Amino acid sequence: MELWFTEKHTPHVNFSIKVDKQLYSGQSEFQRIDVFESREFGRILALDGYLMLTEKDEFIYHEMITHVPMAVIPDAKKILIIGGGDGGTAREILRYKSVESIDLVDIDEEVAEVCKKYIPQTADSLNDPRVNCYFEDGLKYIRHHENEYDLIIVDSTDPFGPGEGLFTKEFYGNCFKALKETGIMVNQHESPFYPADAYAMQRAHKRIFDSFPISRIYQAHIPTYPSGHWLFGFASKIHHPILGANWKKWKALNIKTRYYNPKLHVGSFALPNYVEEIVREVE
Amino acid sequence: MKQPTQENAPILEALERLKQMRIVPFDVPGHKRGRGNKVLTDFLGEKCMSVDVNSMKPLDNLCHPVSVIKDAENLAAEAFGAAHAFFMVGGTTSSVQAMVFTACKRGDKIILPRNVHRSVINAMILCGAVPVYINPQMDKMLGIPLGMSINDVKKAIRENPDAKAVLVNNPTYYGICSNIKEIVKLAHANNMLLLADEAHGTHFYFSDRLPIAAMHAGADMAAVSLHKSGGSLTQSSMLFISDKISEGYARQIINLTQTTSGSYLLMSSLDVSRRNLALNGKKIIDDVINMVEYARGEINNIGDYYAYSREKVNNDSIYDFDITKLSVYTRSIGLAGIEVYDILRDEYDIQTEFGDLANLLAYVSVGDRPRDIERLVSALAEIRRIYKKDSSGMLEAEYISPKVMLPPQEAFYTNKEDAVLLDKAVGRVCTEFVMCYPPGIPILAPGELVTEEILEYIHYAKDKGCQMTGPEDMDLQYLNVMG
């Protein structure tokens, strides 16, 4: 018997992982949630059939979405994570002792519960006393906050389904409002490779670019995401993502990382020409 | 044969039976179940094309219904509480025309509020009826026309005892209702028919949390846009009549202008929507009310905006309010409703129903999701944060009372007509329509005097981005007036 998890990266491209067994399958109010056990990638979380994380490569995504902004503002105290119910982003942020509180807002409580049970590698962080979980619509939550956060991390699903509100201009504008004067917003920014993803990426960039004075894109290599080439957005009110990095302070924290390092931080903002073109088109 | 019930959808069922029969079509339409128009079939889908068929014995005939259309109309009449229902395929415009044509002949008077839909005045041009306008009261702050005051209706009836009918908007575009029950009594006591334009009132028939529906209030005819809150396809509509109206005469009137190739896509959509409303209407409308009430609360919490509701009720010109309407007053952030409407669409990818000079109307229905409501509310919050400016200097909307000099038909079909520059038209009698869209209510109708006040309004509304529709000169440089 062979059991395979397959995600369509495009209508003409399949990505498959051989599955040992299915650990969980359920339908929440918002989406279908599945957890698989695999030999190559360990446990896998899929939402509505889209692969969200695997135990083997989640460190790349979670390190890049957190340490890049934290190297710029290593003394950040108040963090907001929108999405991120799997806990991976919170886990990385908790490594900074100076962080006083992490508000985590995810629309789907069942994802967090399922991850706590089946993927403790990331979701154990949700039990930390510094993490406050709110299970509601991120767009609604952010509307009611002003001048409050040092860092907002948008750790969303894709721009269709329950996460679509997190790719809108009204959302980014409300994030701007909820950040302090020195605040930074980092977001999961889709992929530049396949045309449909690239279009979503370009639209998101246009909206962020319109909402923040500084808006740059950086990249990482994530093997289990479509094309493997993944982007993040860095938007801020005053801080430059490279010139503003506080390497002395960050190195002194002595945080051990597997993917991220200062050299890679700088290099990750150097984009391939074809990606630059997509980005420039809307700037 | 078993009597059909509200669980049935006779037209839908007949179409399904037809599909199974695999009839060879040597009749119109020429696309022959889509095979003859591949591009359109790929676009709309084979299922859709296969039921775009012509009247035939198993499917009845809209012009002369004797089987499945008759059954479907009877079920609709039962569901809406009318003596008879007509399925209409020319939009609610055709239903409104049929009402006016049924009630009035040339020269007959009809009492109606000025904020009627253009289709009502168009109908008068065609049949030669003469309007007696009642000035709707005006909400000064919101700048919107309201319902009719009972005293104004009484006065109009007293002064025009020969009028044949009174027409009521139930509700207006903004969700405002007149005291239709009382107006029915006044009309009937004076031998007049009560016609209701319920283009925005389909849902009233299926909830006890909403204003009273016209047929339940004793109206004689009601034009109901099922394609708005009822969920049927665009351009489908229903006309209801009471037992005071001859069904046969009303059908003759309808057949004067109705197509003889009634679309089965439209008719089946009416049939299915009626079934859905009859079986699940209460729950559907409760869901919509809950979403709108939530949105209204959130919008009012943003600050400056005013999403109004039942608190505006004054027992006369605002006798009742349709709480499924999400109307938002925007002038308090220094922007006209139409400006907010444009920003929402251009900057936030959110399409609302319309914006006028002071208000924005978002149409909420069973098809909306809570997360879309969040987007609308959040975008409004952002627009206020980014665009808010001083609101002084914005035109205070006043109701402009029309001065009717000639019946619409006489003015429109006059032989003595001049086209003059718009600004030179003051003091002349207009022979065409000038409509401000949104909201589509006439500023000038054929037969009315052009005044300074009207010109000022036209210039201001144009400047804010409203479209001026109706005149022969689409740019409205020139206006046609009586020679």
Residues A124 and A176 in one domain: yes
Q: pLDDT at residue B393 above 80?
A: no
How large is the average pLDDT for residues B111-121? 92
Q: pLDDT at residue B318 above 90?
A: yes
Residues A42 and A67 in one domain: no
Residues A62 and A48 in one domain: no
Q: Which residues does chain B have within 8 Å of residue A204's beta carbon, measured at their own beta carbons?
A: none
Q: Which residues of A touch B (CB under 8 A)?
A: 137, 139-140, 142-143, 162, 164-165, 168-171, 173-174, 177
Contact assignment for B348 to A140 by CB distance below 8 Å: no
Structure confidence at residue A161 (pLDDT): 77
Residues A90 and A23 in one domain: no
Structure confidence at residue B275 (pLDDT): 98
Residues A150 and A265 in one domain: yes
Q: Which residues does chain A have within 8 Å of residue B349's beta carbon, measured at their own beta carbons?
A: 168-169
Tens digits of residue pLDDT in B75-103: 999 999 999 999 999 999 999 999 999 99
User: A219 or B114: whose pLDDT is higher?
Assistant: A219
Residues A265 and A185 in one domain: yes
Residues A63 and A139 in one domain: yes
Contact assignment for A168 to B377 by CB distance below 8 Å: no
User: Which residues, including other chains, have CB under 8 Å from residue A176's CB and lie 6 or more apart?
Assistant: A185, A211, A212, A237
Residues A19 and A104 in one domain: no
Contact assignment for B374 to A165 by CB distance below 8 Å: yes
Residues A185 and A262 in one domain: yes
Structure confidence at residue B139 (pLDDT): 87
- Give percent above pLDDT 90 in chain A: 95
Q: How confident is the model at residue A35 (pLDDT cuts 50, 70, 90)?
A: very high
Mean pLDDT of chain A: 96
Q: pLDDT at residue B342 above 70?
A: yes
How large is the average pLDDT for residues A236-251? 97
Structure confidence at residue B395 (pLDDT): 64
- At B17, the amino acid letter reads R
How large is the average pLDDT for residues B428-437? 90
User: Which residues, including other chains, have CB under 8 Å from residue B464's CB and lie 6 or more apart?
Assistant: B336, B338, B339, B357
How large is the average pLDDT for residues A38-61? 97
Structure tokens, B297:
């609360």
Rounded Cα distance, A64 and A189, in Å? 12
Q: Which residues does chain A have within 8 Å of residue B298's beta carbon, measured at their own beta carbons?
A: 143
The CATH code of the domain that includes A226 is: 3.40.50.150
Structure confidence at residue B184 (pLDDT): 98
Number of domains in chain A: 2
Domains and CATH numbers, chain B: 10-278 (3.40.640.10), 282-387 (3.90.1150.10), 408-482 (3.90.100.10)
Q: pLDDT at residue B392 above 80?
A: no
How large is the average pLDDT for residues A97-122? 97
Structure confidence at residue B44 (pLDDT): 96
Nearest CB neighbour to B374, from listed A137, A169, A173: A137
Structure confidence at residue B396 (pLDDT): 63
Q: pLDDT at residue B399 above 70?
A: no
Structure confidence at residue B464 (pLDDT): 76
Q: What is the 3-state secondary structure (H, E, C) of chain B?
A: CCCCCCCCCHHHHHHHHHHHHCCCCCCCCCCCCCCCCHHHHHHHCHHHHHCCCCCEHHHECCCCCCCHHHHHHHHHHHHHCCCEEEEECCHHHHHHHHHHHHHCCCCCEEEEECCCCHHHHHHHHHHCCEEEEECCCEECCCCEECCCCHHHHHHHHHHCCCCCEEEEECCCCCCEECCHHHHHHHHHHCCCEEEEEECCCHHHHHCCCCCCCCCCCCCCEEEECHHHHCCCCCCCEEEEECCCCCHHHHHHHHHHHCCCCCCHHHHHHHHHHHHHHHHHHHHHHHHHHHHHHHHHHHHHHHCCCEECCHHHCCCCCCCEECCCCEEEECHHHCCCHHHHHHHHHHHHCCCCCEECCCEEEECCCCCCCHHHHHHHHHHHHHHHHHHCCCCCCCCCCCCCCCCECCCHHHHHCCCCEEEEEHHHCCCCEECCCEEEECCCEEEECCCEECCHHHHHHHHHHHHCCCEEECCCCCCCCEEEEEC
Of A74-83, B302-311, B398-407, the least confident:
B398-407
Contact assignment for B381 to A164 by CB distance below 8 Å: no
Last residue within a domain, chosen from A31, A54, A77: A54
Neighbours of B110 (CB within 10 A): 27
Structure confidence at residue A243 (pLDDT): 97
For chain A, state the CA radius of gyration: 18
Rounded Cα distance, A234 and A231, in Å? 10
Residues A161 and A275 in one domain: yes
CB A224 within 8 A of CB A51: yes
Residues A214 and A180 in one domain: yes
Instruction: Give bridge partners of residue B168 from the DSSP assignment.
Output: B196
Q: Which residues of B touch A (CB under 8 A)?
A: 298, 347-349, 370-371, 374-375, 377-379, 381-382, 385-386
Q: Is A155 a catalytic residue?
A: yes
Contact assignment for A137 to B348 by CB distance below 8 Å: no
Structure confidence at residue B391 (pLDDT): 78
Q: Which is nearest to B14 in space by CA: B272, B278, B274, B279? A: B272
Tens digits of residue pLDDT in A144-164: 999 999 999 999 988 777 788
Nearest CB neighbour to B378, from listed A162, A164, A174: A174
* Minimal C-alpha gap between A164 and chain B (Å): 9
Q: Is A158 annotated as a binding residue?
A: yes
Structure confidence at residue B235 (pLDDT): 96
Q: Is A128 annotated as a binding residue?
A: no
Tens digits of residue pLDDT in B467-478: 888 899 988 999
Domain extent, residue A22, equals 4-54
- Give percent above pLDDT 90 in chain B: 82
* Residue of chain B whose alpha carbon sits nearest to that of A30: B371
Contact assignment for B385 to A173 by CB distance below 8 Å: yes
User: Which residues, including other chains, have CB under 8 Å from residue B324's CB and lie 6 or more apart?
Assistant: B175, B203, B210, B229, B285, B288, B289, B292, B364
Tens digits of residue pLDDT in B219-253: 999 999 999 989 999 999 999 999 999 999 999 99
pTM: 0.87
How many angstroms from the chain centroid is the CA of residue B44? 27
Contact assignment for B382 to A165 by CB distance below 8 Å: no
Q: Is A138 annotated as a binding residue?
A: yes
Please give the DSSP secondary-structure letter assigned to residue A166. G
Residues A112 and A44 in one domain: no
Rounded Cα distance, B461 and A213, in Å? 35
Q: pLDDT at residue B436 above 90?
A: no
How large is the average pLDDT for residues B137-159? 92
Tens digits of residue pLDDT in B255-291: 999 999 999 999 999 999 999 999 999 999 999 999 9
How large is the average pLDDT for residues A111-129? 97
Q: pLDDT at residue B120 above 90?
A: yes
Last residue within a domain, chosen from A33, A54, A75: A54
Q: Which is nearest to A193 in space by CA: A15, A24, A39? A: A15
How large is the average pLDDT for residues A94-103? 97
Last residue within a domain, chosen from A15, A34, A54: A54
Reported ipTM exceeds the 0.95 cut: no
The CATH code of the domain that includes A45 is: 2.30.140.10
Q: Which is nearest to B374 in space by CA: A143, A93, A59? A: A143
Highest-confidence segment of A153-167, B278-292, B427-441, B446-460: B278-292
* Residue of chain B whose alpha carbon sits nearest to that of A204: B348
CB A178 within 8 A of CB A162: no
* Minimal C-alpha gap between A226 and chain B (Å): 26
Rounded Cα distance, A171 and B57, in Å? 56
* Residue of chain A whose alpha carbon sits nearest to that of B380: A170
Instruction: Give bridge partners of residue B169 from the DSSP assignment.
Output: B197
3-state helix, strand, coil in chain A (%, to 5): 35, 30, 35
